[in-house]
Amino acid sequence: MGINSLLSVGFGLIFASIATSTNYHLNSYSLDGGSTNNATSTTYKLNATSGDTQSSTNNSPNYQTKSGTIQTQQSNVPLAPTLSNGGGTYTNKLNFIINTAGNPTDTTYSVAVSTTSNFASTSYVQADGTLNTTPIYQTYTAWGGATGTLAIGLAPGTAYWFKTDAIQGKFTATSYGPSATATTSSSTTPSLSFSVTPNSLSMGSLLVGLIITSSTISFTYATNATNGGAIYMAGASTGLVSASSGGYSINVSPPSGNLATLAEGFGLQALTASSPLASQSPYNGTSNIVGSIYTTFQPVFSATSAVTTGTATAAMQAKSSISTPSSTDYTDTLTFVAAASF
Amino acid sequence: MNKIKFINRVKYTILAISLVMTNFAFLPQSASAASLTNSYIELNRMAAGATTSFRVVFKTASAGATSVAINFNGADTTTWTGSTGTVNATQTVSSASCAAATGTTALPGTLTAAGASSTVTISSVTALAATTAYCVDLTSTTAVTNASAGEYHPTITAGSDSTTVAVRTVSNDQIVVSATVPPSFNLALSGNTDAFTSNLATNAVGVTAGKTVTINTNAKNGWFAWAYDSNTGLNSAFAAHTISSTTPGTGATLTAGTEGYVFGITSITQGTGAGVTSAVPAYTSNGTSTGSGLDATVRQIASSTGTANGAVFTVKELAAISPTTQPGTDYTDTITIIGAGYF
C-alpha cells in the first residue's frame, strides 16, 4: 500500500472523529472508495466504509448535525451538563448532572473539566469525584442519574467548564458536547459554635424502683462545614458512682437499656434535634430506653451538612433497686465536645 | 490534477492536525497543592484553659505525604497562642484506635510527634495515598492547652495539601450529675402465730411449723436481726407452770422426756444483693432438737454483710416435756423479732 493509500485509510479514521474540534472545523469532506475494513493496530481499530461518504455539519450552541454511515453509528452527543455550586455553599466542589441527549441507558459518558472555556488544560472526573488526566466512562446512573455527582478537590472562587462525551460500544464514540460553566464559592472562614447547659444536674433521690428523669440538657450547634459535624459525649465513669459505697456504679450495660424492665440503671436519652442535626444510636431511644455512658467519646447528635442555628436537647434517666447501696454521693461528670468536618 | 493536489494537501493537513491533537490529549497535567477535604480536629476538652488530647481526621488530595502538621494558629489574626493557648513540645501519637471510631484509615507509619510554637508535627508517616481519609490521635492529655473561649482556625497540612478548619473553646464543656439513694430497710414476718405440729409428749421433742422472716435493705454494710422472749419459756397460766428456755445465747440440744424450750433458725438465704447472710451459731437449729433459749434480753439471731433483696430465714420453736410436766392447753410464748439496716 502506497503512502496515498495509507493517507486514505488515515483520512477515513480521522474523518470519523474530527469533523469538528476546538480549533478546526471541516465543512465538507469525502472518503474515496475502496478503503480497507477492519485494519487494526495495538490500540486502534479502523471502521471504514467503501464508496463515498459525504459529511457536512451544521452547528448551534447545543446541537450538531451528523450525516453519513459512520456518523449515524455514533451515540448522540450529550448536551451541556447541568452544574450547581450548592446555592453558593460549595467552595471546593461542584455538582454536575449528565444530559444524555436521549442515549440508551447502557451508554457511558466521560466528563471533561477545565478552568478555561477552550479546555486548554483538561482534567477528567474520576469515579470517586476527584479529577485526573484519564477519562473515566460510566453510565448515566453511575454518574448519579438525575441527582448527579460531585466533582471534588476544586479550588474556591474558580470558574470551571464541564463537557461530556458518550460511547455505546465500538465505533460509537461521540465528540464532546457543548460545555457548561459554574463557579465555586469563594473560600469562607470555617466556623463552629457550640454550647451545653446546664453544667450541673441533680437527679435528686433515687427511690427504689422509680425512674427519675433529670431536667433538660440543652445544646446549641452551628457550623458552615459542608460535611456537617457532631456533638460527642464521654463520662468520667460509665455510670453514677458512689465512692463511699466502694465505687458502686449505677449504669446500663452497653449499648443501651430499658429502665422499665431493669432493676437499676443510668443513661442518656436524646429528646429533640433541629434539622439537619439528628440524634444517634444508642441515644435515640424512646420511653425509658437510654443509651449507656462510655468513657470514650460517642456521637449523640450529628449532621451531614452545614448547620445554621442548630439546637438539641437530652435528659438523663436513673433508677435504683433495693440492692443499690444507700449513699448521698452518687455522681458522674459528662464531657460534651463538638467538631465539624470541613 | 489540481483537485488531486488540493485533496492531498487537505489529507496531509488533517493528518498533521490529528497527530498534534493526539499529542495534546496525552500531555501530563502539572501537579499543584490541593485542598484536604473532610477534615476536622476533635478536641477531647473544649473548656478554655483545659489541657487536652485531640483527634485529627483529613482526606488527602495528593499522594506521597510523609508528615502531617497541625498549626493551631493557622491564618488567624487572633491566634491560639496569642490567646493563652499552647502546644506542648512533648507529644505522644497513635492511630491505633481512631479508625474504628471514624471509619477512616489509621495514619500509617512508625509515628512520632513533637510540638513547636503553635504546631504539632507528626513524622515518620508512611507515604499517604491520594484521596484517602486518615485519622490520628495526639494522645497526651496535655497535648494542647486550650486558648481562651472563642473560635480558632488551625490548618492541617499533609505533604503539599492543606486545609483550614475551625475549633471552638467554651467556658464549660461538662455537666456534673449527682444523685442520692436514700436508705431503705424492710422486715416482714410470714405470720404471727407458730403452733406446734402436735401435742407435746414425753417420747419426742416437739417442733413448730415455723415462720419466715424476709429482709430487704440497701444498707451497704448489711443488716442485723434480734429476738427476745416475753416468758423466758412456754408458760401455762392454767397449770401455773413454765417450760423454761434453755440458757439464752448458748446452744442446746433437747432430749425427749427432759423439759426444755429453744428457739432456732432452720434455714437462711441471701436472695440477691451484695451481702452474705448467716445465723448466730447458738441459734442455728437442725429443726429437730437444737437451738438456744430466749429471754427478755434482745439477742442477735442473724446478720448480713451487705445489701439484701429478698433475704429469708426460717425460725422455729422446739420443746420437750418430762413425765411430771403439768398438763395444760394454754402453753404459750411471745417472741419478738426485730431488725435494722447497717448503713
By DSSP bridging, strand A298-303 and strand A229-235 are antiparallel
Please tell me the distance from the alpha carbon of residue A234 to that of residue A238, in angstroms, as a whole number: 9
The domain tally of chain B equals 2
Question: Cβ separation of B34 and A8 shorter than 8 Å?
Answer: no
Question: Cβ separation of A342 and B131 shorter than 8 Å?
Answer: no
- Same structural domain, B274 and B325: yes
Please tell me the distance from the alpha carbon of residue B270 to that of residue B311, in angstroms, as a whole number: 4
Closest residue to B174, CB basis, from A242, A322, A333: A333
Is B337 inside any structural domain? Answer: yes
Residue B10, SS3? helix
CATH of residue B103:
2.60.40
- Same structural domain, B321 and B207: yes
Residue with cell 477531647: B44
Q: Does pLDDT of B4 surpass 50? A: no
- Same structural domain, B194 and B107: no
Predicted local distance difference test score (pLDDT) of residue A172? 85
Q: Does pLDDT of B188 surpass 90? A: yes
| Residuewise pLDDT in 10s, chain A (342 residues) | 343 333 333 333 444 444 556 666 666 555 555 554 555 566 555 665 555 555 555 556 555 555 566 556 688 999 999 998 876 667 778 999 999 999 999 999 999 999 999 999 999 999 988 899 999 999 999 999 999 998 988 888 899 999 999 999 888 889 999 999 999 877 678 999 999 999 999 999 999 999 999 999 999 999 999 999 999 999 999 999 999 999 999 999 999 999 999 999 999 999 999 999 999 999 999 999 999 999 999 999 999 999 999 999 999 999 999 999 999 999 999 999 999 999
Residue-wise pLDDT tens digits, B199-258: 999 999 999 999 999 999 999 999 999 999 999 999 999 999 999 999 999 999 999 999
| Angle, vertex CA A32, rays to CA A29 and CA A35, nearest 5 | 120
Please tell me the distance from the alpha carbon of residue A28 to that of residue B309, in angstroms, as a whole number: 99
Long-range Cβ contacts of A277-285 (<8 Å, 24+ apart): A277/A221, A277/A231, A277/A301, A277/A302, A277/A303, A277/A307, A277/A310, A277/A311, A277/A312, A278/A302, A278/A303, A279/A312, A280/A230, A281/A255, A281/A256, A282/A254, A282/A255, A282/A256, A283/A314, A285/A256, A285/A258
Q: Does pLDDT of B10 surpass 50? A: no
Is B13 inside any structural domain? Answer: no
The pTM (predicted TM-score) of the whole model is: 0.70
Count the neighbouring beta carbons within 10 Å of the beta carbon of residue A17: 14
Is B328 inside any structural domain? Answer: yes
| A134 in contact with chain B, both atoms CB, cutoff 8 A | no
- Same structural domain, B99 and B212: no
- Same structural domain, B276 and B210: yes
Is B62 inside any structural domain? Answer: yes
- Same structural domain, B78 and B203: no
How far away is chain B from the Cα of A101, in angstroms, using its nearest Cα?
Answer: 25
Is B74 inside any structural domain? Answer: yes
- Same structural domain, B160 and B234: no
Topology of A192-340 in CATH?
Answer: Immunoglobulin-like (2.60.40)
Closest residue to B218, CB basis, from A195, A323, A331: A323
Is B133 inside any structural domain? Answer: yes
How distant, in Å, are the alpha carbons of A91, A97, A166, A190, B176 from that of A226? 9, 20, 32, 10, 33
Looking at chain A, which residues constitute the CATH 2.60.40.10 domain(s)?
74-188
- Same structural domain, B190 and B234: yes
Closest residue to A322, CB basis, from B220, B309, B343: B309
Residue A71, SS3? helix
- Same structural domain, B42 and B165: yes
Which three cell numbers, joined as nine digits, stand for B108? 500509617
Is B235 inside any structural domain? Answer: yes
Q: Does pLDDT of B73 surpass 50? A: yes
Give the closest residue to A110 by CA, choosing from A44, A19, A173, A17. Answer: A173
Stretch 204-263 of chain A: residues touching chain B, C-beta under 8 Å: 204-208, 212, 214, 217, 223, 225, 227, 229, 232, 234, 240, 242, 244-246, 248, 250
Residue-wise pLDDT tens digits, B311-342: 999 999 999 999 999 999 999 999 999 999 99
Predicted local distance difference test score (pLDDT) of residue A153? 81
Which three cell numbers, joined as nine digits, stand for A312? 438539641
Give the closest residue to B340 by CA, choosing from B220, B218, B224. Answer: B224
A26-63 exposure pattern, b = at least 16 Cβ within 10 A, e = fewer: beebebeeebeeebeeeeeebbbbeeebebebeeeeee
Is B319 inside any structural domain? Answer: yes
Whether residue B304 contacts residue B223, with contact meaning beta carbons closer than 8 Å, is answered with yes
Predicted local distance difference test score (pLDDT) of residue A41? 63
- Same structural domain, B113 and B245: no
- State CA A35 to chain mean position distance: 49
A181-191 exposure pattern, b = at least 16 Cβ within 10 A, e = fewer: ebbbbeeeebb
CATH node for A74-188: 2.60.40.10
Predicted local distance difference test score (pLDDT) of residue B191? 97
Q: Does pLDDT of B268 surpass 60? A: yes
Predicted local distance difference test score (pLDDT) of residue A169? 85
- Same structural domain, B90 and B58: yes
The pLDDT mean for chain B works out to 91
> Which region among A60-74, A98-112, B102-116, B154-168 has the lowest average model confidence (pLDDT)?
A60-74
Predicted local distance difference test score (pLDDT) of residue B16? 38
Q: Which domain holds residue B110?
A: 37-169
Question: Cβ separation of B18 and A18 shorter than 8 Å?
Answer: yes
Interface test with A, best of B175, B276, B343 (most A CBs within 10 A): B175
Phi-psi region of A324 (alpha: psi -120 to 50; beta: other; left: phi over 0): beta
Contacts of A7 (CB under 8 A, 6+ apart): B8, B11, B12, B15
- Same structural domain, B83 and B220: no
DSSP summary character for residue A243: G
Stretch 69-98 of chain A: residues touching chain B, C-beta under 8 Å: 92
How distant, in Å, are the alpha carbons of A223, A225, A278, B1 from that of A303? 10, 10, 6, 75
Predicted local distance difference test score (pLDDT) of residue A325? 96
Interface test with B, best of A192, A223, A280 (most B CBs within 10 A): A192
